[in-house]
Each structure stands twice: as C-alpha cells, then as structure tokens.
Amino acid sequence: MFDPFAFLNLYDNIIYGEDGLPKTKPNGDVNTMRIPFIVIWLVLGAIFFTIKMGFINFRGVKHALGLVRGKYDDPDHKEKGEVSHFQALTTALSGTVGLGNIAGVAVAVST
C-alpha cells in the first residue's frame, strides 16, 4: 500500500517498542505504520467541504446548542403531545445507538 506521507518523509513510519528499538515481525522485518488511502481521501474531502461551505461545521455549533436548549421554541405555542427539540434529538440518538448495537451483535454472531 502506498503511503504518501512516508514517501515524502513527513513522519517516521517505523513502530518502536518501549525499549526504543524497532518492533519486528516474526520473520525479522521491521513493523511499519501506514495510513490507508481512504483515510487520506476522507480527510482531504472534509477539508475541501469545510472550506467550500464557509466553515459551517464550526460556525453552526452555537446555533445547534441553542436549538437543543430550546432557545428558538415558542412558549405560547405548546400543543399537547408535542416533543421538544432535545427530546427529538435524544430519541433519534437512542434509535441510532440501539440499531448500531443490534447490527454489531448480528455481525459478531455471523462471523
């Protein structure tokens, strides 16, 4: 696998043990650390879209926290059976985490 950072000597890709010596594989080769291409691709994509969209992932944090806290709720317009923004967020998160746990168990059982 091609590692552009190791190719450009931007970091030392050898894995060292606690004694300071390079760790080796059973056949005597030195263990090296490589960054998969997909990780580089995802980081470059994240940087591109962060710049292209005007750093909304940083600017929108204040608005998101205000939304979850209920800053934009209308206290006069409270219908029976309505859920708050925070309740909707926690419900969606619990469903996502629960589905991940179920899928994780299914994958573990199938392998």
Q: What pLDDT was estimated at residue 39?
A: 87
In this structure, is residue 100 part of a structural domain? no
Tokens of 46: 């994240």
Range(s) of the domain holding residue 51: 1-59
Predicted confidence at residue 25, as pLDDT, reads: 83
Report the pLDDT value the prediction gives residue 23, as an integer from 0 to 100: 85
Looking at residue 111, its pLDDT comes to: 67
Structural domain count of the chain: 1
Residue 13 lies in a domain: yes
Write down the pTM of the prediction.
Answer: 0.49
| CB of 91 closer than 8 Å to CB of 83 | yes
Q: Give average pLDDT by consecutive 10-residue segment, the chain, 111 residues.
A: 67 77 83 80 95 94 88 75 81 81 77 67
Residue 40 CB coordination number (10 Å): 13
Maximum CA extent, the chain: 73
